[in-house]
């Protein structure tokens, strides 16, 4: 279950699998907790660095604009994340899996509570959307990357919701690949890399 602060901002689960991968840190003071929160938010915005935090066996991540050009900047709505998952690529995504960033929000709930999140959703390649969803999960799925602070406690969590393998892909090879990856392989690997990510967000 999402923590009390994050819960209202996490999509409702209605189909497929749901996953939650979390790490937390309790600071010595509220000021120290604010510093941890702000540092974690800064790290989370730098999507291109996620792979370094996730470890050598994880996927690699690259921000891309609508023209398919690589971006070295902080994450913003309307950008895409190009994901290079170890193993066979996705032909619909020109060898990659793709998600679109649909929401980025930083919210000060009150003096003791604050929240930041990035929500992403499977999509097509930015330059060939008509080729269909270029991801091993269907577009109903979302990934919410959340950092929250409640007084001296800071929590970093990745919430996966409505994770259904994308076995309706047009390409037969993609269909087989997505079924294999989406029914356990990549979801299991994702949990391992997300655990490394949330730990890395909160590290000193």
pLDDT at 8: 93
Q: How far apart are CA 2 and CA 6, in angstroms?
A: 6
Instruction: Note the pLDDT tens digit of each residue in 29-70.
Output: 999 999 999 999 999 999 999 999 987 777 899 999 988 899
| Distances from the Cα of 197 to the Cα of 8, 178, 200, angstroms | 23, 24, 5
136-160 in b/e burial notation, b at 16+ Cβ within 10 A? bbbbbbbbbbbbbbbebbbbbbbbb
pTM (2 decimals)? 0.92
Domains of the chain, by residue range, sit at 7-202
Task: With a cut of 70, say whether residue 185 has pLDDT above it.
Answer: no
Which pLDDT tens digit goes with each residue over 82-117? 998 877 677 777 888 899 999 999 999 999 999 999
Q: Which CATH number fits domain 7-202: 3.30.530.20, 3.40.50.970, 3.20.20.70, 3.40.630.10?
A: 3.30.530.20
Calculate what percentage of the chain has a pLDDT beyond 90: 62
């Amino acid at each position: 279950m999402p923590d009390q602060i994050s819960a209202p901002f996490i999509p409702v689960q209605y189909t497929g699998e749901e996953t939650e991968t979390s790490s937390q840190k309790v600071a010595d003071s509220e000021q120290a907790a604010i510093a941890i929160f702000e540092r974690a938010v800064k790290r989370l915005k730098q999507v291109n660095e996620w792979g370094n935090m996730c470890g050598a066996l994880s996927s690699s991540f690259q921000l891309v604009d609508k023209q398919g050009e690589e971006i070295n900047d902080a994450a913003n709505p309307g950008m895409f994340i190009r994901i290079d998952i170890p193993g066979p690529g996705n032909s619909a995504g020109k060898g990659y899996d793709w998600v679109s960033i649909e929401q980025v929000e930083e919210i000060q709930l009150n003096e003791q509570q604050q929240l930041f999140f990035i929500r992403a959703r499977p999509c097509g390649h930015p330059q060939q959307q008509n080729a269909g969803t270029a991801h091993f999960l269907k577009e109903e799925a979302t990934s919410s990357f959340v950092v929250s602070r409640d007084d001296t406690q800071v929590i970093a969590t990745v919430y996966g919701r409505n994770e259904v393998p994308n076995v309706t892909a047009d390409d037969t090879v993609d269909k087989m690949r997505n079924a294999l990856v989406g029914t356990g392989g990549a979801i299991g690997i994702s949990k391992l890399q997300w655990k490394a990510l949330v730990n890395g967000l909160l590290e000193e």
